[in-house]
Amino acid sequence: MRFLTITLFTISLCLSISSESDEKSTADTNENNLPDDTMPVTHHHRHHRIRHGNVHRKRQPVCVNGKPVEGVCECELDYVGKHCEKKKNCQSYRRYKNGSCPECLKGYQGDYCEEIICYNGLPNTHHTECLCDDPYSGKHCDELETKRIYSYYNRKVFLLGPLGAISLIPMCAMYMICEYFARKRQVKRVGLMMEGQNINVQDRMLEKLLNNM
Ligand SMILES: *[C@@H]1O[C@H](CO)[C@@H](O)[C@H](O)[C@H]1NC(C)=O
């Protein structure tokens, strides 16, 4: 029965797909069979658009620290990137002709010292800021604040709390088992002692007595 429904389903699916492709092919032929006189019109329109495009369509780029020149950003001193959005972080004022510098400031890397280094964290997608791991902070995630460390450990302890409680349960169980056997031994010992003195006492009675002590 199930097999039958599956086959029926597959067949209907195939039919629907094939009919769709049929529609498409008919649409294609329709397009190809367009009357010839429409073609020059579209042709004309396209030319028109392109002619105006050089003035209007070519979008000027957004230059954060620079200005667009012929569709490309020309960056101000010490800025790089497609949108001049990255600052160079050079150690000195020396620059090579290509704009790179011999040495970067601490915490920066890259050809133009434009990439931030995150010592305990990860940089954002543009490598301009760090997302620090707990409990680190600071621009390069290399700072440890006492307050943050406290809150970090407080949170850790809070998380460990339930775990600690759970680990206490076996310990309690062990203690209780030990206690139980110790009491059993005690009962036996007292029983033996009393036997030695020819006093016959039932174990159960003795246990009750000792437990009430
Ligand atoms: C720029 O030039 C210097 C020295 O000529 C070279 O060491 C450096 O790799 C160049 N940087 C880039 C990004 O081309």
Q: For the segment 133-148, what is each residue's pLDDT rounded down to a tens digit?
A: 999 999 999 999 888 8
End-to-end CA distance of the chain: 76
**CB-CB contact of 107 with 116 (8 Å):** yes
Q: 88, 95, 97, 98: which to mutate for ligand 1, most atoms within 8 A of CB?
A: 98
Selection from 68, 60, 105, 67 nearest residue 87 by Cα: 105
Q: 141: closest CA among 107, 104, 105?
A: 107
Alpha-carbon gap, residue 180 to 192, rounded angstroms: 19
185: Cβ–Cβ under 8 A, 6 or more apart, which residues?
Answer: none
Pocket of ligand 1 (CB under 6 A): 96, 98, 100, 111
Mean pLDDT of the chain, nearest integer? 74
Tell me which residue has its CA closest to atom 11 in ligand 1. Answer: 100
Confidence label for 5 from pLDDT (cuts 50, 70 and 90): very low
Distance CA 74, CA 65 (A): 9
C-alpha dihedral sign at 87, 90, 92, 95 = negative
How many angstroms is it from 130 CA to the middle of ligand 1?
26
Predicted confidence at residue 166, as pLDDT, reads 72
Residue 99 Cα to ligand 1 middle (Å): 8
**What distance in angstroms lies between residue 210's CA and the mean position of ligand 1's atoms?**
91
Find the range with the poorest average confidence among 17-21, 62-66, 120-124, 172-176.
17-21
* Cβ contact 68:61 at 8 Å: yes
What spacing in Å lies between the alpha carbon of 120 and ligand 1's midpoint?
29
